Amino acid sequence: MDNGVPMKYSRLTAMAIAFAITFTASAQPASPASGPQPSAPSGLLHQLNDSFAAVFEKVAPSVVVIEASQSTPKPIPGLPQGLEFFLGDSEGRGTHSQPSIGSGFIIRPDGYILTNYHVVGDSDEISVKLHDGRRFSAGVVGLDERSDLAVIKIEAAGLPAAELGDSEAIKVGQFAFAIGTPMELPYTFTVGVVSAKGRKLAASRNYEDFIQTDAAINPGNSGGPLCDIDGRVVGINALVSGVNRGLGFAIPINLAKNVAEQLVSSGHVRRPWLGVEIAGIEESQRLQQLYPEVSRGVVVTGIEPAM
């Protein structure tokens, strides 16, 4: 340490320098140009620097800060937690609001905003603050707990909508950028890479196809966009393992597009339903014993009544 400044480069800076030097070595001209020239690595780093800044400048105007509140009965001092539920509001205690802060992004210029279900799902009041400082009350258009997605709407027009990309086209190792409100710090911009695709997580019961990234994601990033180097949204930041451990997870935008379209058009999501319960033979020793002649496949273990 020297004057409080770390002597080692950050991981991202070191990676960028290595990239610049490697690229320069492979593209070095046969004879140096006459006269003083700026060093090629420095030039490439400035290009990379400008590219990162351009992503934020493109995406940030479409990102919003969401403040959601839920009214709960005021606790009675000294009363065991949970007991006040049975008392209702007969004591004139009133209610108090429990606010939470998350993120979202505009998907249509007429005020439609995409975010996570867990950001707004149980809220009584929703307030949205835009990048330009304006604040609006928002209403819920549709909720889908299964995919952890929600669409809300504010009464405004001519808003900057985010450009949606193709999550199937992203590659592990490419740059990834997250924008959101972690720890109540709005428009925080973090950089990393796509660490993995198609992640299955025990913490998520309903949906298992997450994009993993090491771009720093913390509580409050939920609902914000995960973008590629061109400023296109490829995912919706939804989960984090611990706090800033380089293990963030986003819902692919291709899934979110389909869900959002259905929520806007009808307020809910329709999914195919067979009405049967199945189990894989390969995953059950009991089924393997019952059907020794069958090595692969599934067995219908139950039939649900018609909905």
* 271-292: pLDDT as tens digits: 766 667 777 777 677 877 777 8
What are the distances in angstroms from CA 282 to CA 95, 295, 302?
A: 53, 7, 18
Beta bridge partners of 70: 98
Calpha distance 251→261 (Å, rounded): 16
Give the pLDDT confidence score for residue 132 in this predicted structure.
97
Q: Is 284 in the active site?
A: no
> For the chain, how big is the Rg over CA atoms in Å?
25
Q: Is 118 in the active site?
A: yes
Give the pLDDT confidence score for residue 16 in this predicted structure.
56
- Identify the weakest region by mean pLDDT among 58-72, 104-118, 146-160, 185-199: 58-72
Looking at 123, 167, 195, 222, which residue is catalytic?
222
Output the CA torsion 239→245→246→250 (10° steps). 0
Give the pLDDT confidence score for residue 291 in this predicted structure.
78
Q: Which tokens belong to 282?
A: 């390969």
Which of 257-266's residues contact partners 24+ apart within 8 Å by CB, and which partners?
A: 257/164, 259/144, 259/147, 259/149, 260/107, 260/112, 260/114, 260/149, 260/151, 262/142, 263/141, 263/142, 263/143, 263/144, 263/149, 263/150, 263/151, 264/108, 264/112, 264/141, 264/142, 264/151, 266/142
**Are 178 and 189 spatial neighbours (Cβ–Cβ below 8 Å)?**
yes
Give the pLDDT confidence score for residue 83 in this predicted structure.
47
The domains of the chain, with CATH numbers, are 175-266 (2.40.10.10), 272-307 (no CATH)
Give the pLDDT confidence score for residue 85 in this predicted structure.
43
Site of tokens 């590629």: 228
Q: Is 222 in the active site?
A: yes
Calpha distance 150→140 (Å, rounded): 8
* 34-83: pLDDT as tens digits: 555 656 678 899 999 999 999 999 999 999 999 999 876 555 555 455 54
Site of tokens 């496949």: 297
Looking at 62, 123, 144, 148, which residue is catalytic?
148
190's CB contacts (< 8 A; 6+ apart) are: 177, 178, 215, 216, 217
- Identify the weakest region by mean pLDDT among 181-185, 228-232, 235-239, 270-274: 270-274
Give the pLDDT confidence score for residue 8 in this predicted structure.
41
Q: Which tokens belong to 271?
A: 């999914």
Kindly indicate the confidence band of residue 116, based on its pLDDT and cuts at 50, 70 and 90: very high
Look over the chain and give the mean of its residue pLDDT values, rounded to a whole number: 82
Looking at 62, 100, 103, 118, which residue is catalytic?
118
Give yes or no for residue 86 having a pLDDT over 70.
no
Which of 151, 72, 76, 171 is closest to 110 using CA atoms? 151
* 3-29: pLDDT as tens digits: 444 444 455 555 555 555 454 445 455
Give yes or no for residue 96 having a pLDDT over 60.
no
